[in-house]
Structure 1
């Protein structure tokens, strides 16, 4: 049976605790799952500590964030089977945790001046598992107070939107994408370029594929366009890259929700990831 190789929990900006996800996967007939929380080793360590849970094999993973400064957009890279003791990877996660917290704590302080009902401490309750305050945690607190009717609705765009710029938006400085790729490789990870349609990343992806900088592409994803899927499949065939699928599950913390197992990775591609990871650990 296939596996869902892209999922988020309360270890980052998802709404569901990590221990509940494997059973979700088992109930839809999956044999494998990667819990790939943003820029953290918590999801990685959980999988190493629980290699099989509820009959589902857990693949250690994290989704690393970088930035393409030439084209001015974020980039997400799925790193499978990284070494959790890697100094470079630990440093990356520490930097991103600090920068995200600085930005969202500043946003929260500004929100206290806008909404007298709101307190930063309430939003921080949603950061207990991750150690990071995300915008989704702030929005969960606002929804509880009756100040927002959803996580990513009109209130979110008013406060955190890009264009027009949100009233309290503060964005962290992201690490250049090639530095992030070097960090993932230093940790021995198998690197898959995530959802290229989301950040209009096809020009960058073409470059990285030609340079041999990625091991695979996430083709089956709810947000990928048919055109990008077709080109990504062709790139995987031409360059012998791994092709994966993942739901990008966030529980309730998503503009359009999808259940675990919506998008999956075939068994043979999971085997390729594992074989490559073993070679890099030797």
Structure 2
């Protein structure tokens, strides 16, 4: 049975392939009732998403996904943001600017590897969105250097790979603090990706972490049970979502395919700051 809640998805405002209207219309057509648009380091799609959602009777929670760093990447989702805060937006712009500078270095590395691509073409593919590795992968695919976006990541763009360029990041604690500063709820994304999970949870819960992704992607029942136990241990909300990007390179979970209990929304709202 399909779910009615999906709290993790991306549009062309970051590294998804569907624009905001397409994404919201698809969600509504699939019977979803509550979604969160969680683009990377940007809220550019939220105004339109909320507008389209209202027209279609779909609740769109203003959200984001922040990239942090602590012994590896740690992603923190933010829900129910007062995202028009000017200081918040200035910090997000700084994050995006570092992505831009990083992009130019990735182009240089690819050229040194014998795979020249045009920086201008990468920007065209991004189409105004925050530039990320999937946009470089698409440009590489266009040139015939790889057959799929997945191959570009597996061979060249993975963390520490020959075309990888690191960028300035914040710590998980700083990400939680930033989200809380604008009235939001911070949730640890895809925890199986997180190194030293127990320590990260200890530190972020002390800072105000409100939840942990539990019903995520292809997580099996055993993995879900593990994170349900951690949610209970730390008194945080077990949330979830598909992490839908719109690309079909095999293995992705589609909108509505990941069953997230409807009561998660009420549990999150009960934790909103007065």
Compute the TM-score of the two structures, normalised by the length of structure 2. Answer: 0.88
Single out whichever of 182-191 and 51-60 deviates more from structure 2.
51-60
Distance 1:57 1:186, change over 3 A: same
Determine the structure 1 residue equivalent to 2:132.
134
Determine the structure 2 residue equivalent to 1:83.
82
Single out whichever of 109-118 and 23-32 deviates more from structure 2.
109-118
Distance 1:253 1:129, change over 3 A: farther
Q: Answer whether contact 1:63 1:79 (CA < 8 A) is retained.
A: yes
Determine the structure 2 residue equivalent to 1:260.
255
Determine the structure 1 residue equivalent to 2:32.
30
Distance in 2 between the 1:129 and 1:197 partners?
31
Q: Quote how far apart the aligned CAs of 1:54 are.
A: 3.0
Tell me the matched-pair count: 272
Determine the structure 2 residue equivalent to 1:3.
5
Task: Write the deviation string for residues 217-275 of structure 1: whole angstroms up to 9, x where unpaired.
Answer: 11011254655432321232344422212000011176632211122432222123234
Equivalent of residue 192 in structure 2, options 177, 197, 202 = 197
Alignment of 1:96-107 (within 5 A): 96-107=95-106
The secondary structure found in structure 1 opposite 2:193 is coil
Matched, 1:39 2:34: no
Alignment of 1:90-239 (within 5 A): 90-112=89-111, 114-115=113-114, 118-130=117-129, 132-153=130-151, 155-162=152-159, 165-200=160-195, 202-208=197-203, 211=206, 213-224=208-219, 226-239=221-234
Single out whichever of 78-87 and 46-55 deviates more from structure 2.
46-55
Distance 1:254 1:104, change over 3 A: farther
Q: Quote how far apart the aligned CAs of 1:168 are.
A: 2.2
Q: Quote how far apart the aligned CAs of 1:92 are.
A: 3.0
Q: Which runs of 5+ in 2 are unaligned?
A: none
Compute the TM-score of the two structures, normalised by the length of structure 1. Answer: 0.86
Q: Quote how far apart the aligned CAs of 1:2 are.
A: 2.6
The secondary structure found in structure 2 opposite 1:77 is strand
Distance 1:90 1:103, change over 3 A: same
Determine the structure 2 residue equivalent to 1:243.
238
Q: Answer whether contact 1:197 1:223 (CA < 8 A) is retained.
A: no
Q: Answer whether contact 1:88 1:186 (CA < 8 A) is retained.
A: no
After superposition, the CA RMSD in angstroms is: 2.4
Single out whichever of 87-96 and 23-32 deviates more from structure 2.
87-96
Q: Quote how far apart the aligned CAs of 1:174 are.
A: 0.8
Determine the structure 2 residue equivalent to 1:73.
72
Distance 1:80 1:254, change over 3 A: farther
Distance in 1 between the 2:136 and 2:126 partners?
10
Q: Answer whether contact 2:189 2:213 (CA < 8 A) is retained.
A: yes
Q: Which runs of 5+ in 1 are unaligned?
A: none
Q: Quote how far apart the aligned CAs of 1:96 are.
A: 1.4
